[in-house]
Amino acid sequence: MITGSQIRAARAIIKITAQQLAELAEVGLMTVRRAESFDDTVPNINKPNLSAIQTALESKGVIFISENGEGAGVRLRKS
């Protein structure tokens, strides 16, 4: 699962606001803000909402990089 820090980084890399992500994921703005508040842990929100956020970001080209000893991260898919 993705972390709050990854969600914030993903939003930054694709240059969208929390409100835009909420609309794209079809979740509430407070759900996005709450998810982002969890820093380097998996957000304590319901799994369908977290999945919707992840799917929305991936639809915009974000790739989530798993923890592999160097820390979790994000990057953009090649065009």
pLDDT 10s digits, 7-60: 999 999 999 999 999 999 999 999 999 999 998 899 999 999 999 999 999 999
Alpha carbon of 62 to those of 37, 42, 74, 75: distances in Å? 19, 17, 7, 6
The CATH number linked to 37 is: 1.10.260.40
> CB within 8 A of 22, min separation 6: which ones?
28, 29, 31, 32
Which residue range forms the structural domain that includes residue 11? 4-76
**pTM (global) more than 0.95:** no
Instruction: Tally the domains of the chain.
Output: 1
Please report, as a single letter, which amino acid is at residue 73: G
